[in-house]
């Protein structure tokens, strides 16, 4: 039995654009996954779980960040036809990649998802050894991920991914994927359960849900481990060159390392990455992991 669960995080404004390609590719043969969003629904037979259901009722009913949430509960997807909510999760940069916008309604909701999501995950799936949390515009390279998890012990406190900091707060960057062991998830959920109001107050004054989650892990006694470039917060073509066309030392190191996650990938890129991974698996017989230079 495969005891790895993927928790996929999506906003209601992203489901139509970004979920279908994952159902057709990266999730097609993966048995254990749950899709979280800020709006619970049945999407073409796929259950979407409301990640915000157990946020304190007062916050759901009164907080300004939950304006879109209240509209979705009242009007369903028709609420998204309002021009005020168009593009709530999808500012686009010059490369065609989605970027964050803290003033958009969907992004205001996003930071509130992380802690109730991990709490719900443990409640619904308590027997998994590993929990991987991935975002809508990410691609998990399962062939590498499963080999990585096989080297770790789920009974240990494991919380790892790509290191990031926001002021004094150190955390694993959600866009690069978050790997959590059963023991670590149990610890952070226990802390969340006994410090819910304190953590919701912290969330209210922060801008990043993955940073809030990082604080909870730290307070629960779970330290982060930075495993970049295995877990990457960028897409394969995002390379930093020095004058003369040479790669920076860090990027050169990433170029030939195994990779288990890419971020800022479009649906077309997800499909291309999946086909490349399948071809790699068919071609390789020595069990070697997929590397960045194999897909870029």
The model's pLDDT over 140-183, given as tens digits with 9 standing for 90+, comes to 999 999 999 999 999 999 999 999 998 888 999 999 999 999 99
**Of 180 and 289, which is predicted with more confidence?**
180
**Of 200 and 288, which is predicted with more confidence?**
200
Predicted pLDDT of residue 285: 59
Closest Cα partner for 73 from 60, 86, 85, 83? Answer: 60
Parse the chain into domains and list their residue ranges.
4-226
pTM of the model: 0.87
Choosing among 3.20.20.140, 3.40.50.2000, 3.90.550.50, 3.40.30.10, the CATH entry for 4-226 is: 3.90.550.50
């Amino acid at each position: 039995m495969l005891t790895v669960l993927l928790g996929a995080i999506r906003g209601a404004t992203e489901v139509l654009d970004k979920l279908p390609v994952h159902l057709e590719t990266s999730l097609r043969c993966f048995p254990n996954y749950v899709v979280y969003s800020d709006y619970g629904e049945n999407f073409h037979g796929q259950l979407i779980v409301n990640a915000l259901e157990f946020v304190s009722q007062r916050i759901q009913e009164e907080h300004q960040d939950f304006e879109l949430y209240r509209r979705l509960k009242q009007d369903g997807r028709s609420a998204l036809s309002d021009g005020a909510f168009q593009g709530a999760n999808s500012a686009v940069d010059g490369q065609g990649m989605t970027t964050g916008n803290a003033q958009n309604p969907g992004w205001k909701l996003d930071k509130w998802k992380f802690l109730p999501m991990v709490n719900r995950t443990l409640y619904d799936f308590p027997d998994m050894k590993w929990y991987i949390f991935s975002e809508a515009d990410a691609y998990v390279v399962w062939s590498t991920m499963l080999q990585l998890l096989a080297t770790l012990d789920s009974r240990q406190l494991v919380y790892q991914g790509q290191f990031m900091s926001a002021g004094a707060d150190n955390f694993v960057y959600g866009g690069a994927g978050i790997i959590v062991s059963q023991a670590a998830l149990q610890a952070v959920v226990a802390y969340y359960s006994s410090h819910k109001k304190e953590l919701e107050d912290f969330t209210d004054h922060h801008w990043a849900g993955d940073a809030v989650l990082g604080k909870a892990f730290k307070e629960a006694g779970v330290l982060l481990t930075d495993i970049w470039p295995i877990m990457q917060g960028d897409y394969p073509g995002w390379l930093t060159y020095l004058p003369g066309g040479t790669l920076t030392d860090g990027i050169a190191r990433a170029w030939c390392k195994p990779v288990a996650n890419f971020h800022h990938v479009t649906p077309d890129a997800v499909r291309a990455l999946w086909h490349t991974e399948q071809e790699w698996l068919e071609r390789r017989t020595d069990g070697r992991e997929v590397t960045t230079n194999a897909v870029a």
